[in-house]
Amino acid sequence: MLLSELKLRKIVREIIEKDELLNEAAAISNKTYIDAAGNQFQIRSGSLTLTARSNGKAEGLPITIPAKTLSTAARALLARYPGDAALTSLVSAAPAQSAGTGMSGSQVYIDDKNNQFQIRNGSLMLTARSSGKTDGLPITIPANMLAAAAGVLSSRYPNDAALSTMAGKTSSSQPAGGSGSQIFPSLKKNFPLFDPATLGNRPVMIGTVDIPDCSKWVTSMINVQIGNAWHAHNNPVLPSLKFDAYSNFSSYKSSVEKILKEMNKDRYLGPKNAVAWNDRAAAISKKLIPSAGTIAAAMSLGDVVGIFHQESSHHGEALFDGATAGSLARRFAPSVPPGAFVDGNKPWDYPMLGQDKNFVVNRPFGLNTHVGFVGAIHNGRPIVCHNISGNVYACYADSMTSKDFPIWVKQGKASAPSVLDNVPTVAGGLNVVAGGFNAVRKYLGI
């Protein structure tokens, strides 16, 4: 009787234990894991499954994570859920891939938005977008963006030798560009991954900033209030011009006088009103573009560079404001002298708007709509850096095209603190906002 009771208790205990295990398994299978981008995952049938996207799109869900990327995906989630037994078992279930395997292209790296990258033939490639779009894939990360991309991924995969090697190509212990490069201090500070040695003979985006205006960005970098792009030409806060295509005054004097008289008579009221004259104004500057080698030879580190920007819609505005330097402009740059558009000895002012007087232009002025500065010199070649709507580009001065071409040069500063120098950096000096992974993402469209 006693033996039967013991057997019964053992059977009951086994049933209870099995029930507890089943409940635990059910709890594990129903647990939702959320990654850094807000995507949701669950463990189902022993595998990791994407159950909800952060963008709300439900096409194809649920999606089982492929076996070859299971360990990588589970490891990324484990970093957010440390000690989770189920995730730990998934990480250990698939053998960890070595750096050598990664070099052959099988290791998949997932960024914080669930885009996927692989190393193939010694280069980092985008192989899958989190949005599911496949246009142009795979895409090789350009050499000038490689360190930024690898650096950010390396922070998620700190033990991966292949990523560490790529991220270290422009490490802080080895100054970018080597002995053949000079980099303006504020540019080096705010764009630590910019390496002049990686530039080819065409413009390259080196980062993004929260300043959309070209002249305000130059002001922030050299710490000198230059005014807007066209007023910088005559602004005395900068020393005299070192090169000036507009000095050939006689070649365009009659053309600008004709346009200015029309604009004044039609009561020019601002940028929108200037569009009608845009093409005619642009044509004047375009005819004055000098040879690339000639203007590049005049440049030194820190110099301010007026740029003819073909695609600008401000050519008419630049012509009128550059010639008149009206009251509105001098509010922003009080040091800008009175304009070159005069009635006898009287410089133009707003009360003259709409009047049909015998106006003339009495000296050269800036018609350029864009401005940058010499941010670096590599092997004796000046590199012009400029900001277009928050995207910062770098290009050798002697390789710039007629769409963005230097048209005057003013002596700047050999070095200067930047008002951006106190912007916090992340990931041990990697300034992602100014010069890192955001530029990569814009390039890749992710």
pLDDT of 296-305, one tens digit each?
A: 999 999 999 9
d(CA 428, CA 169): 15
CB-based burial, 250-289: b 16+ in 10 Å, e otherwise: eebbebbeebbbebbeeebeeeeebeebbebbbebbeebb
Query: Within 13 Å of residue 163, how many CA atoms lie on the same side as its CB?
Result: 23
User: What does the pLDDT read at residue 373?
Assistant: 96
What's the predicted TM-score (pTM) here?
0.56
Q: What is the pLDDT of residue 372?
A: 96
Kindly state the tokens that stand for 152: 């950010």
What mean pLDDT is reported for the chain?
75
Q: Which residues contact 302 (CB under 8 A, 6 or more apart)?
A: 184, 222, 373, 374, 412, 413, 414, 415, 416
pLDDT of residue 376: 93
Please tell me the predicted confidence (pLDDT) of residue 330.
46
- What's the CA gap between 318 and 205, in Å, rounded? 25
- What is the C-alpha to C-alpha distance for residues 176 and 199, in angstroms, rounded to an integer? 12
Residue 31 is predicted with a pLDDT of: 85
In this prediction, residue 270 carries a pLDDT of 64
Phi-psi domain of 14 (left: phi exceeds 0; alpha: psi -120 through 50; beta: other): alpha
Tokens for 110, please give them.
């997932």
SS3 readout for the chain: CHHHHHHHHHHHHHHHHHHHHHHHHHHHHHCCEECCCCCEEEEECCEEEEEECCCCCCCCCCEECCHHHHHHHHHHHHCCCCCCHHHHHHHHHCCCCCHHHHHHCCCCEECCCCCEEEEECCEEEEEECCCCCCCCCCEECCHHHHHHHHHHHHHHCCCCHHHHHHHHHHCCCCCCCHHHEEECHHHHHHCCCCCHHHCCCCCEEEEECCCCCHHHHHHHHHCCCCCCCCHHHCCCCCCCEEEEHHHCHHHCHHHHHHHHHHHHHCCCCCHHHHHHHHHHHHHHHHHCCCCHHHHHCCCCCCCEEEEEECCCCCHHHHHHHHHHCCHHHHHHCCCCCCCCEEECCEECCHHHCCCCCCCEECCCCCCCCEEEEEEEEECCEEEEEEEECCEEEEEEHHHCCCCEEEEEEECCCCCCCCCCCCCCCECCCECHHHHCHHHHHHHHCC
Domain ranges for the chain: 28-96, 99-174, 178-410
Query: pLDDT at position 188, please?
Result: 87
**Cα angle value 97/167/428 (rounded, 5°):** 115
Q: What was the pLDDT predicted at 381?
A: 92
> What is the torsion angle, in degrees rounded to the nearest 10, for the CA atoms of residue 173, residue 174, residue 175 and residue 177?
-170
Q: Give me the helix-helix angle, 315-324 and 278-287, nearest 10°.
A: 80
b/e 52-88 (16+ beta carbons within 10 angstroms → b): bbeeeeeeeeeeebeeebbbbbbbbbbeeeeebebbe
The pair phi, psi for residue 2, each rounded to 5°, is -65, -40
Low-confidence ranges of the chain (pLDDT < 50): 1, 21-29, 94-105, 169-179, 327-334, 416-435
Q: How would you list the strands of the sheet with 341-343, edge to edge?
A: 346-347, 341-343, 360-361
